[in-house]
Amino acid sequence: MNKEKEAQKLLKLKQQLLKQHQRLSNVNQKMSEVINKEQEK
């Protein structure tokens, strides 16, 4: 029973981290696009 709860908690944490990672990836991509545009000038 306890291990089950622990597993659920870890799974939630993992999902949160994945979401944050996705957000960071999106931000990095946007930054790269902006930098590329600046360099083209």
Q: What is the pLDDT of residues 1-41, one digit of tens each?
A: 799 999 999 999 999 999 999 999 999 999 999 999 999 98
Token pair of 36, please? 């590329």
Classify residue 17 by its DSSP letter: H
Task: Give the SS3 label for residue 23.
Answer: helix
Q: Which regions of the chain does DSSP assign to beta strands (E)? A: none
Token pair of 22, please? 């996705």
CA distance 22 to 32: 15
Task: Name the pTM for this structure.
Answer: 0.69
Q: What is the pLDDT of residue 4?
A: 95
Q: What is the pLDDT of residue 9?
A: 97
